Structure 1
């Protein structure tokens, strides 16, 4: 089953830690120096990487490592620092938006909402046969969205202070029209009518700007899960990709057996998403079936149990290994707070984030990354 991962990163001034609006320059320099295509984002202080189509998790990991190296080295060469973090820990919230027409249009449509939208997520695409299948798979994934959001919770600080949340990005993102958990769709026609309503109202410009936490991609034959912060480390991104692919594989198996997806009301999913954003992996989550608070780690174990019969034994072993590492180290937000506690300095948080961003690449000698499609 094919998959791909998109990661958004923040560019900051290494002296002040504030967002640095050089996304376009980094994109152009990465293409010129390494032949690697990066993308601009809504905020000028962001860049996005996209893996090619991958067929296994080892390839996902290799691609993510290489792309982070290219983006970090290119940013460094231009005097900036690349951070894998959900929101800017220092500065903001107002940011300069990028110049391309699409982003100028979003800024015109959404005003200050767009101006404060400097957030970085991780999007996982998994291949599916067609739109009808994609819509039904999304129904099956809905109930797991809050749990998936805890895996890479990585935005504890904003404007130089602790937000009280593991994923402040999720809270900021919840204001965006057309975001959050999607409705439960009874058919492709129901899905298309919901999209049409958002576009007619002006809440979305087009299908690409309907940003549900899981959605059929508007331009690829995939289901796209968008609920997560950008992962602090490559390993955490790989863990997220593995869980998402496992859930899609399980959904396809259920569809083949004619099993319907559970109908979870949107208000329950929104409450669960808020709790997940607040606590991350190390706290409590709302079980959307029992409506009780339970340890998040218990729900993650249930997720693994749910998917393990539909993925390779090697992937199950990798998921358990990566989850064990997370048990030891905590999620990205926990590690940010730990770094701050050492001396009470935001500079320590920024240094930690920069180290986590390139974790696993310590032996890199500066040679060019060969990006294969």
Structure 2
């Protein structure tokens, strides 16, 4: 069996991936212009602007960043360039985890052996998968620490999901959820909550068992909410919807960096807990956003059962020494979310006020860069 090597990386370095929708400027519907836009991306960006599963989505990646400030600088320049190229193709980039009225049947799929293999397996489940997300890589020095981070941080991922919910609508219908993307994603095989792994050797054993059973071909076939990324020497946190504003991306990244440090440095220690409780907490976040109920699996927070909003306040307090250390970029935006509305709530308010998805989209699009 293969001995998977966890690449060494400097602790708490960052890499951020944003998946943007490509919309036609006139109709504001999804439009399959990713290949045309990608063809005009300068070579200097290399593969940091990448295609996604469908041709109406583009992924923008940072390089390796030492701080959230570096993430901000990196992403700002890349997004600004992509916005200009998109405009040349009568398109705009939109930051939300589901388009509110696009039809899955209208989408064109990207070329490539891996995409074709996945699509052949997923069939109708794959054809419905129009979602976009925020993925954050955090550098870890060795494999056992990476698994400890996955085991501990997955217990509190519903708080991050609650802060980022941005997918209440699907195919023109209010789903009643704050993050319907979460439920679409869970329809994929091997997606969602990984459960307790325990050690790097335990992870290797799991991967080798799944490979020998022909369940997966590569580690990327495990679409967990948080997973080790051995080739990069990181953990990849994948739970979040795509926030409505750029500064919220930075705030969420700051929380993830601080939480990872708290686990690696022994402030938070992983333990096996009820898998059903993890599922219940995640459902509450996907269904109700910040108003969902969260029961603390480890007893880390002062209050065991409370709203996700209140749990987030307590988590920020717990992590405050790490924010002081790393800078806490974007935390004012997180505080604004906690005092007000996340993207899903804003979408519903705008739709009710203006009566159209198109107006809702443009109102949100025009505030993306607002501090």
Distance 1:285 1:6 in 2: 29
Query: Which residue of the partner structure matches residue 213 of structure 1?
Result: 225
Indicate yes or no: 2:25 matched with 1:14: yes
Corresponding residue to 1:83 among 94, 111, 114:
94
**Taking structure 1 as reference, are residues 299 and 319 closer, same or farther at Cα in structure 2, changes over 3 Å only?**
farther
Indicate yes or no: 2:334 matched with 1:326: no
Distance 1:83 1:347 in 2: 12
Indicate yes or no: 2:292 matched with 1:284: yes
Query: Which residue of the partner structure matches residue 58 of structure 1?
Result: 69
How far residue 2 of structure 1 moved from its aligned partner, in angstroms, is 1.0
The runs of 5 or more residues in structure 2 that have no matched partner are 1-11
Report matched runs for 1:93-242 at 5 Å.
Answer: 93-94=104-105, 95-200=107-212, 203-242=215-254
Query: Which residue of the partner structure matches residue 265 of structure 1?
Result: 274
**Taking structure 1 as reference, are residues 62 and 285 closer, same or farther at Cα in structure 2, changes over 3 Å only?**
farther
Query: Which residue of the partner structure matches residue 369 of structure 1?
Result: none
Distance 2:85 2:161 in 1: 29
Question: What are the Cα deviations for residues 275-315 of structure 1, in whole angstroms up to 9, with x where unaligned?
Answer: 1011112x122214389752211110221123223342573
Whether the 8 Å contact between 1:6 and 1:50 is mirrored in structure 2 is yes
**Taking structure 1 as reference, are residues 34 and 196 closer, same or farther at Cα in structure 2, changes over 3 Å only?**
closer
Query: Which residue of the partner structure matches residue 364 of structure 1?
Result: none
Distance 2:55 2:367 in 1: 23
Identify which range, 259-268 or 47-56, moves more after superposition: 259-268
Question: What are the Cα deviations for residues 139-194 of structure 1, in whole angstroms up to 9, with x where unaligned?
Answer: 12121111111121111211122221111111111111121111211222221232
Distance 1:182 1:225 in 2: 12
**Taking structure 1 as reference, are residues 110 and 198 closer, same or farther at Cα in structure 2, changes over 3 Å only?**
farther
How far residue 55 of structure 1 moved from its aligned partner, in angstroms, is 1.3
How far residue 88 of structure 1 moved from its aligned partner, in angstroms, is 1.6
Distance 2:78 2:367 in 1: 14
Question: What are the Cα deviations for residues 21-48 of structure 1, in whole angstroms up to 9, with x where unaligned?
Answer: 1212212212369778410011111100
Identify which range, 164-173 or 287-296, moves more after superposition: 287-296
Instruction: Name the count of aligned residue pairs.
Output: 355
Distance 1:187 1:147 in 2: 25
Q: TM-score, length-normalised on structure 1?
A: 0.88
Whether the 8 Å contact between 1:178 and 1:198 is mirrored in structure 2 is no
Report matched runs for 1:18-29 at 5 Å.
Answer: 18-29=29-40
Indicate yes or no: 2:41 matched with 1:30: yes
Identify which range, 286-295 or 130-139, moves more after superposition: 286-295
**Taking structure 1 as reference, are residues 293 and 337 closer, same or farther at Cα in structure 2, changes over 3 Å only?**
farther
Q: TM-score, length-normalised on structure 2?
A: 0.88
Corresponding residue to 1:5 among 13, 16, 24:
16
**Taking structure 1 as reference, are residues 118 and 55 closer, same or farther at Cα in structure 2, changes over 3 Å only?**
same
Query: Which residue of the partner structure matches residue 284 of structure 2?
Result: 275
How far residue 197 of structure 1 moved from its aligned partner, in angstroms, is 4.1
